[in-house]
Amino acid sequence: MLILGLETSCDETGVALYESERGLLAHALHSQVELHAEYGGVVPELASRDHVRKILPLLREVCRQAAVAPSQIDGVAYTRGPGLIGALLVGAAIGRSLAWAWQVPVIGVHHMEGHLLAPMLEPNPPKFPFVALLVSGGHSLLVDVQGIGRYRILGESIDDAAGEAFDKTAKLLGLPYPGGPALAKLAEQGDPQRFRFPRPMTDRPGCDFSFSGLKTAAINTWRALESSPENRADVARAFEEAVVETLAIKCRRALHATGLKRLVVAGGVGANRRLRERLWELAAELGGQVYYPRLEFCTDNGAMIAYAGWRRLAAGQGEDAAIEVMPRWPLDSLLAA
């Protein structure tokens, strides 16, 4: 079964072809970072228009890489939500139009399910069940994963997501867009002993997250200092350490509560080097394993949508001809596959 995957939830256009027997055949990604950089964040209308411009050229490129003709494609998967409504509508309209023209089934995929399943594209994929930490610019979730669509939310952010807190703090520190990677790079030069910021919500039970207070603590500290490269790096390091340690504490709680030993980490923040080091340490300490997608699949991409779509379509799921997207879509509302 050969599935075309389309990702257009925010500011990256992703297209991929996944084949059930041979795995991922080809994928291509266009990032809108340069487009949005002068505004310091994603402009939804510009994002939507850029998806329109890029998605079909990327589709032709992926088909060329895989030596696949459109007539060979057996199904189409696109990101139905969550995300920016205009951006989602681009992928939904094109995905459904192609499926109608090719007379193949089509499925709308949950963006975070795509991230959750991205490690399945690796040579040594995790087996069910496992705990998943999904951390991105828009989401911070801990999920008990028993199978495809069998998800129980263990904890989520009650305010800023981890990636959002990274980006906002970086912007207030005067770092360029995109802020999260810039802050993480700067933090490598900082002194980890100079400042210690709070580990929010770790003094109470549960696995929920809150990063807005941590962001405020970092900014208040920075504003009280002389503006220098050394001070900026030390604040960045303290902020990163607080986020990483908070995530590690919550992961430990989630693994303990479920009795599971396998941890999957996905989403853009999953590419953070310090977070990976800390969670590897945690897994070794607990006698467990931690799984990540390759770095290029931590951020949004079409490969994860193609894979998730294949799992859904192979289970006999599909949709009618109506075009409907879900800017907000709870992960634990999905059907099992």
Sequence ranges of the binding site for substrate: 134-138, 167, 180, 272
Helix residue ranges per DSSP H, the chain: 33-37, 44-66, 85-102, 111-117, 162-172, 179-187, 212-223, 229-258, 273-286, 302-314
Q: Which residue bears the tokens 């800023």?
A: 160
What are the beta bridge partners of residue 19? Answer: 2, 23
Annotated binding site: 111, 115, 134-138, 167, 180, 272, 300
Query: What's the N-to-C CA distance of the chain in angstroms?
Result: 16
Annotated binding site for Fe cation: 111, 115, 300
Q: Which residues in 242-265 are b (16+ Cβ under 10 Å) and which e?
A: bbbbbbbebbbbbbebbebebbbb
CA dist 236 and 79 (Å) reads: 33
Residues 6+ apart with CB under 8 A from 24: 16, 17, 18, 121, 303, 306, 307
What secondary structure does DSSP assign to 277-325, as a single string?
A: HHHHHHHHHHT-EEE---GGGTS--HHHHHHHHHHHHHTT----S----
Give the closest residue to 245 by CA, choosing from 291, 200, 188. Answer: 200
CA dist 284 and 69 (Å) reads: 46
What's the count of helices (H) and strands (E) in the chain, helices before strands? 10, 10
**CB neighbours of residue 30 within 10 Å:** 18
Structure tokens at 30: 């266009």
What are the beta bridge partners of residue 75? Answer: 3
